[in-house]
Structure 1
Amino acid sequence: MAVLDVLSPEIKSQLVLELTQLVSDDVVPRILAQQEIDFFKAKEAANYLNVSYDSFKRIRKQGLIIGFLLKGTSIRRYRKSELDDYLKESEERL
């Protein structure tokens, strides 16, 4: 017997409402905030790497950072993990 089976329909309904509110108030904003941290626009990526935008464009043209296109658009984003990998490789080359 599942735990929820012992609850009345009214209590189940209240539980669903409270969980929905909790998810929308707490969980969703945290997921969105994390997502915003994990993906950068080109200028944000340049700032994260502490290089000028022009330097970032050169790095990109050299294929050292690739990024990805948002589906169905020409908008490019860069994963934080890719930028971190580039920084680590740059340090190793020194």
Structure 2
Amino acid sequence: MKLKPCPCCRGQAIFADMVVGKSSRRVRMWQVSCSGCGLSTDLDEKKTYAAQRWNLRQEYANLKMWVTLLAALLPASIIISLLLGNLMGISLIS
């Protein structure tokens, strides 16, 4: 599976695997990390799942940016509307 570049620094993403657990139950775990800044995913038992989580980081970052922007603009637009209404002689308070 092809890995997208790092959403933070645009560096190259690489797979890392490690074996965890006691000798009776050893499990191979996968992680994707950036060779530039060190950003990484959590450990996953499936390589494809680790890659999917990594590749979705940019989409989640973009969505978070838009939600934050809209959340900041909503109160500002209400205040501007109230001020403009007040200038035009419209008052919500009697």
**TM-score computed with the length of structure 2 as normaliser:** 0.36
More helix per residue: 1
Bigger relative contact order, structure 1 or 2, given CA contacts below 8 A and separation 6+? 1
Structure showing greater Rg = 2
TM-score using structure 1 length: 0.36
Structure with a larger share of its residues in strand: 2
